[in-house]
Amino acid sequence: VLSGCGVYDGTEIHEASAILVHLSRGGAEVHMYAPDVPQMHVIDHSKGQPAEAESRNVLVESARIARGKIASLAKLTTADHDAVIFPGGFGAAKNLSTFAVDGKDCKVNTEVERVLKDFHKAGKPIGLCCISPVLAAKVLSGAEVTVGHEEEEGGKWPYAGTAGAIKELGAKHCVKEAVFSLTPFYEAHVDTKNKVVTTPAFMCETELHKIFDGIGAMVKNVLKLTGK
């Protein structure tokens, strides 16, 4: 499920690409969706500033990542899929929810909430990375998720405050290290009860290959939970 195209106002493209590569390697058949709604705003990524006169549609922008093969989120049903995965990027906090503005008091897009609840009710796994675990924290009461560490640690975890908001939403935050002591990849947290799998991704300032491997751990666990 995508949220636009570009880290500051949509889907984090590196994360989406990594998810797609790992799903392909895992032999999964992939369908992409996005809500057919206006973006909260448009960011000029070369300047990191809002483009005041511009407006864009989340589905239309997400189609850039999907190479045109994408459908409205309203068409996503649990009956046709074994699992659902949400990449990060500020779009998850701006277009799929209002978390970027309202924090713990955020609202989640109606279709996003439906999808999360439907997959949860059906006992089908849900994967989320970077900031997107806040969606599960808001919608699935008592879920266990990770966004990495709970302290900034000199800028290594610049969005560490998100962990506190997750707790305020009623979810359990599980601290995960950036790198295993013996293996060079990010950790993924598996909430076996709720079948929710999360990994920090770009919540941490680290090398791209480590983020890629962490997302791989998340995807691998999601596929494992499908039982296929």
Answer whether 215's CB lies under 8 Å from 176's CB. no
Q: Which residue is listed with tokens 């890629």?
A: 212
Please state, in angstroms and rounded to a whole number, the distance separating the CA atoms of residues 3 and 128. Answer: 13
Asked if 128 and 196 touch (Cβ cutoff 8 Å), the reply is yes
DSSP tag of 148: S
Q: Of residues 129, 130, 174, 204, which has the active-site annotation?
A: 130
d(CA 180, CA 175): 13
Q: In this structure, are residues 187 and 180 in contact, taking their beta carbons and an 8 Å threshold? A: yes
What whole-number distance in Å separates Cα of residue 27 and Cα of residue 87?
A: 19
Helices of type H across 26-170: 58-65, 91-94, 99-102, 110-121, 133-139, 162-168
Known active-site residue 174: no
Which residues does the annotation mark as catalytic? 130
